[in-house]
Each structure stands twice: as structure tokens, then as C-alpha cells.
Amino acid sequence: MPTFPISRGRRIRNSNWIRTLTTENYLTTDDLVLPIFLKESGSSDFISKMPGIERHSLKTIEKEIENIMNLGIKAIAIFPQIDKSLKKEKASEAINPNNLICRTIKLVRKKFPELGLICDIALDPYTKSGHDGILGNNGLVENDKTIKILSKMSLNFAEAGCQMIAPSDMMDGNIKEIRNTLEKNKFTDVCILSYSAKFCSFFYGPFREAIGNKTNKKYISKETYQLNPNNGVEAIKNVEQHIEEGADIIMVKPANYYLDIVREIKNKCSIPVSVFQVSGEYSMLKIAAEKNILNYEKTVIESLNCIKRSGANIIFSYFSKEVAEWLR
């Protein structure tokens, strides 16, 4: 490596055109997926802990999708807030073939066949406890029973027309069970985007309110299944296992504090990597900008460019709509 003064780093930073020529990564609207919250009925409402983010019903979603598609966004990920009365210990609504998600899939496939639709697979919108699986007598989520329900849920979504499912439950053997079920039922082309590097994060806080899992009790701890944020090796092991079980795309979640994991997967595995910039990451920037502490557009774009630099191919972000407007 040449040193100073043979090498002067500022030679490639001194003018705009040189900086442009030497820019290594560009964010585009094609990289973005917009997460959308759904509710059973009525007009849309706002989520108090995520300023600017709405929940839509099937009545209001069509107009919203038209907006999104006009902005050039090509895919959405949907998350349901079902009625409280439908939340059950055994999560029966999760496998109702006519539940909110199945109805939405059918509507979107019919009216917007070009739009990418990604459906989350986990039981937390459907359980009374707010856990991602059903609880056993010992108070822990029962792994093997839960993955059977998740595979049935996946099959229902595939039958309704969903082309990409995204298991975010962090159960063992989930991908194997789902892939086998899809294969057996001839859904050989349904893509699995697996949340294999999903950490047990406090940045999910606002999301839990958004899907109606806000409890006055203490924070729902998912540490018996989600990854310890202190661990990297364990995340890579989970990723490698899920690739063998049939995952097509890997998800890292949350995003900005976990980019070392993205880079490591890109270096080690031949697979597209997606990241999820989660609800807490959204609200932090949004609220700091509202208070004029940060420049909104610049900090949001920086956060996303850093994700690109880490090697991610796909970015789930609640900022997607605004970003698509800025990039136009």
C-alpha cells in the first residue's frame, strides 16, 4: 500500500464528478420492499408508535397499492392485525383458509398481478400470548407442533396465490417442514424467504403494538427461539442449515445494527440476502427528525446506503414510499 504523499485519499473526494465516478454502491427503488399492516375492516388508522404508518383494510388497500406501484415499488410484505376475539391459544385463525391474509392475497393477485407479495409465516398475530408458536405446559413454545401449523399456514397462502412466503418464527426445522409440504402439494415454485438470522431485539417494540400484541404486562420475551444479539457464529449456523433445508433467500433482522452478519453471509453463502429495517429503527429516525434533531431525508438515505454497502440485495423498510419519492 502506498503511503502519503504518494497516496492522497482526498484526490478522489475533491470534486463532485470524481466522487460520483468512484461511488461504490447505489440505492434504487428496485431494492425496496414496503411492509404493510392490515386490519379486518373499516377505514385506515395510524399506529401511534410509528408516526406516519397506517393500517389498511381490504377497503382502503387498493388505493394504497395503486400509489405504491406508481412510485415504482415492486413488492410489499403484509402483516395482519386480526380482531382480538380471533386470537386463540392454539392460533386457529392462522390456518383458516379465509383469514385476512388469504383474502388479501386473492384480492392482490386478481387486481395487481404484477405486484410482488410476501407473506410472513409466524403465529404471533394469531396467538393470545403474542408468541410466534403455541405454548406447551412448561410455558415454552412447542417446536414440533408449531412447525406443523406453520406448514399448513404456508400451504393455505400458496393455494390463495402467494408466490413468496417468509417464515419469521425461528422454530427448528421450520424450513424443512414447509418445503416438504409445498413440494408434496406441487407448489414447487413458491419461494421461501427465511428469517434465518432473526435476533431477539427490543427494536421490534412498535411492531408489536401494530399487530395488536401490546400488553400492559412485561415485554414478551422471545429469547428461547430468537437469536442472542451477542452471537454471530450461531446466526451463520442457522443460515447454513436453512439453505440446506430449502430456503431461497435469507433474511437478517434487524438491519442497521446487524450488518456484520449480512457481510459474513454474503462472503460465505451463495444466496441473496434481504434485511429488515424494523419498526424501532424506523421510529427512532422518524421521531428524531420530527424534533428537528436529525435531517430526515439525509439520515434515512444514509441508513439505507449503509445496508447496500454491507452486501444486502433486498431491503424491507417502512421508509420505502418516501424513499421512492426522493429517488424519482
Q: Interface residues with ligand PBG (CB under 6 A)?
A: 120, 122, 124, 132, 168, 204, 207-208, 222, 278-279
Q: Which one, of 208, 197, 200, lies nearest residue 228 by Cα?
A: 200
- Whichever of 204 and 319 has its CB closer to ligand PBG, that residue is 204
- Whichever of 252 and 278 has its CB closer to ligand PBG, that residue is 278
Our answer to whether residue 286 is catalytic in this structure is: no
CB of 168 to ligand PBG, least distance (A): 4
CB of 207 to ligand PBG, least distance (A): 3
CB of 169 to ligand PBG, least distance (A): 6
CA distance 301 to 323: 7
What is the DSSP annotation of 135-176? B-TTSSB-HHHHHHHHHHHHHHHHHHT-SEEEE-S--TTHHH
**Contact call for residues 298 and 10 (beta carbons, < 8 A):** no
- Catalytic residue from among 49, 87, 253, 286: 253
Give the total residue count for the chain: 328
3-state secondary structure of 137: coil
CA distance 162 to 260: 31
- Whichever of 187 and 204 has its CB closer to ligand PBG, that residue is 204
CA distance 276 to 255: 5
- Whichever of 160 and 211 has its CB closer to ligand PBG, that residue is 211
Q: Closest-CB residue for ligand PBG?
A: 207
3-state secondary structure of 105: helix
CB of 236 to ligand PBG, least distance (A): 20
- Catalytic residue from among 198, 222, 286, 321: 198
Q: Which one, of 317, 225, 231, 223, lies nearest residue 278 by Cα?
A: 317
Our answer to whether residue 111 is catalytic in this structure is: no
**Contact call for residues 102 and 156 (beta carbons, < 8 A):** yes
Give Cα 106 distance to the centre of its chain: 21
- Whichever of 279 and 310 has its CB closer to ligand PBG, that residue is 279
CB of 283 to ligand PBG, least distance (A): 9
- The C-alpha cell 413454545 sits at 141
**Contact call for residues 319 and 282 (beta carbons, < 8 A):** yes
Enumerate the active-site residues: 198, 253
